[in-house]
Amino acid sequence: MEGEGHGAEAHFHSCDFCPLETHEPTVNVVPQNDTIYDFYGFPKSMYKLKYPAPGAPELAKRVKELLMASNFKSVKEDKKRGLDHGAWVPLMLMYPEADIPVCQLSVQTNRDGSYHYNMGRALAPLREEGVLIIGSGSATHNLRALNPIVNRYEDINHYEEKAPHAREAHPWPEHFYPLHVAMGAAGENAKAKLIHHSWSLGTLSYASYQFTTTAT
């Protein structure tokens, strides 16, 4: 997460928006967001939840403009997609009134962390335009290995080379890349603050960070 307070609009970079049919960034351009239930085997009550946030088509166009101005040569527009659970679940907790216009940008699982960091840097001007930039993923995400590993030391710098359990924590990278986007958008002088830290089922971390820019 980058920024503070209640933004006029929200730009969401969700781990669960990773279209397999394209290798390019994709932004949803809709006037009204539907609630997408892109999960399986959960209690029936989960599928009754609604988060009818308005879309932000003008913001989506601005996102595309900024990316293409930063040498992202192709940016797709999805004019049907609503909000997946990577977006509406945290938004429901943050802003239950669902009154903030929201657009989403996809992650590219075929790209690396540097690519997503540069994507965040391209979107940094949105911070001065009243936009709250949120990267939604998970510090760990391996639903096939629900065993306690919470006491192992963390090492996130160059995580693939240095972190001894990087692949165990993230068999696929899409839940980690939103962090790179948020870091890039925050800027080189930003400081990270841990605003929430909890665990579920022994291995699923819900760590949440806020990035604030400090004076040089």
CATH class of 9-213: alpha beta
Contact between residue 32 and residue 52 where contact means Cβ atoms under 8 Å apart: yes
63 to 35, 48, 69, 103: CA distances (angstroms): 22, 31, 10, 9
Element of type H or E holding 213: strand 208-213
102 to 64, 109, 122, 198, 200: CA distances (angstroms): 14, 23, 18, 26, 28
Which residues contact residue 20 at a Cβ distance below 8 angstroms, ignoring those fewer than 6 apart?
A: none
pLDDT value for 107: 87
pLDDT value for 150: 45
pLDDT in tens, 147-181: 544 443 344 435 556 555 666 655 556 677 788 88
Each domain of the chain, given as residue ranges in start order, spans 9-213
pLDDT value for 1: 42
Rounded Cα–Cα distance for residues 77 and 85 (Å): 20
- Which is it for the CA torsion 160, 144, 196, 5, positive or negative? positive
pLDDT value for 63: 96
pLDDT value for 131: 93
DSSP lists the bridge partners of residue 196 as 208
Rounded Cα–Cα distance for residues 80 and 130 (Å): 25
Q: Report yes or no on whether pTM surpasses 0.85.
A: no
Give me the residues of the chain with pLDDT under 70, please: 1-8, 11-22, 139-174, 201-203, 214-216
